Structure 1
Amino acid sequence: MSAVTELPPATPTAPGGRSGPAAANKARFSTAWLWSTPPILLLAAAFLYPLYLVVKQAIEGSPPDPANPFKVTTSFSDTLKDPGTRTVVKNTIEMAVYSTAGCLVLGFLLALIIAFVPFPGARAVSRFVDVFLSFPSFLITVSIMFLYGRVGMVNHIASSLTGGKHDTPIDFIEYSPWGIWLAELIYFTPFVMRPLLTAFSQLDSGQLEVAASLGARPGRVIRQVILPEALPALFAGGSLVLMLTMNEYGIVSFTGAKYQTLPVLIENFAKEQTNYAGACALAVINVVLSLALFAGYRVLLARMSGGRRAAVHA
Structure 2
Amino acid sequence: MPEPVRPEAPTATPPPAPARTAAPPGPRKPPREAPPQGSRRPARAVWALPPVALLGLVFLYPLALVVRQSLTPDNGGGPFDAYSAVLASHAFREALGTTVWLALASTAGCLLLGFTLALIIAFVPFPGARAVAKFIDVFLSFPSFLITLALLFIYGTVGMANGLWTEVLGGAEGPFRFLTTPWGVLLAEVTYFTPFVMRPLLAAFSQLDTAQLEVAAGLGARPARIVRQVVLPEALPALAAGGSLVLVLCLNEFGIVLFTGAKGVTTLPMLVYGKAILESDYPAACVAAVVNIALSIGLFGLYRGVGKRAGA
What is the aligned-residue identity percentage? 53
User: Quick check: 1:21 aligned with 2:34?
Assistant: yes
CA deviations on 1:115-142 (whole Å, 9 max, x unpaired) are 0001111111111111211211111111
User: Quick check: 1:130 aligned with 2:133?
Assistant: no
In structure 1, C-alpha distance between the alignment counterparts of 2:303 and 2:138, rounded to whole Å: 28
CA contact (8 A) 2:254 2:270 kept: yes
Q: CA deviation at 1:203?
A: 1.4
Greater shift, 212-221 or 78-87, is seen at 212-221
Q: CA deviation at 1:162?
A: 3.2
CA contact (8 A) 2:140 2:195 kept: yes
CA deviations on 1:137-181 (whole Å, 9 max, x unpaired) are 11111111111111111112222333225x24121111x100000
SS in 2 for 1:245: helix
Q: Residue in 1 aligned with 2:22? A: 3
Q: CA deviation at 1:8?
A: 5.6
Please, which of 198, 210, 216 is the counterpart of residue 221 of structure 2?
Answer: 216
Please, which of 226, 245, 262 is the counterpart of residue 240 of structure 1?
Answer: 245
Runs of at least 5 residues in structure 1 that lack an aligned partner in the other structure: 13-19, 65-73, 306-314
Name the aligned partner's letter for residue 101 of structure 2.
E
In structure 2, C-alpha distance between the alignment counterparts of 1:31 and 1:254, rounded to whole Å: 50
Q: CA deviation at 1:185?
A: 0.7
SS in 2 for 1:208: helix
Name the aligned partner's letter for residue 44 of structure 2.
A
CA contact (8 A) 2:161 2:174 kept: no
Please, which of 95, 113, 123 is the counterpart of residue 106 of structure 1?
Answer: 113
CA deviations on 1:38-66 (whole Å, 9 max, x unpaired) are 211221122112211111211222347xx
In structure 2, C-alpha distance between the alignment counterparts of 1:237 and 1:149, rounded to whole Å: 30
In structure 2, C-alpha distance between the alignment counterparts of 1:204 and 1:31, rounded to whole Å: 48
CA contact (8 A) 2:155 2:179 kept: yes
CA contact (8 A) 1:99 1:184 kept: yes
User: What TM-score do you get using the length of structure 2 for normalisation?
Assistant: 0.84
CA contact (8 A) 2:122 2:205 kept: yes
Equivalent positions of 1:295-310 (< 5 A) are 295=301, 301=306
CA deviations on 1:170-199 (whole Å, 9 max, x unpaired) are 21111x100000011111101111111111
Q: CA deviation at 1:204?
A: 1.5
Q: Residue in 1 aligned with 2:103? A: 96
User: What TM-score do you get using the length of structure 1 for normalisation?
Assistant: 0.84
Equivalent positions of 1:275-294 (< 5 A) are 275-294=281-300
CA contact (8 A) 2:145 2:259 kept: yes
Q: CA deviation at 1:241?
A: 0.9
In structure 2, C-alpha distance between the alignment counterparts of 1:283 and 1:265, rounded to whole Å: 9
In structure 1, C-alpha distance between the alignment counterparts of 2:43 and 2:131, rounded to whole Å: 49
SS in 2 for 1:173: helix
SS in 2 for 1:134: coil
In structure 2, C-alpha distance between the alignment counterparts of 1:62 and 1:4, rounded to whole Å: 90
Greater shift, 104-113 or 125-134, is seen at 125-134
In structure 2, C-alpha distance between the alignment counterparts of 1:34 and 1:107, rounded to whole Å: 46
| Closer, same or farther: CA 5–205 of 1 in aligned 2, 3 Å | farther
Q: CA deviation at 1:2?
A: 4.1
Runs of at least 5 residues in structure 2 that lack an aligned partner in the other structure: 1-19
Structure (1 or 2) with the larger CA radius of gyration: 2
Q: CA deviation at 1:5?
A: 5.9
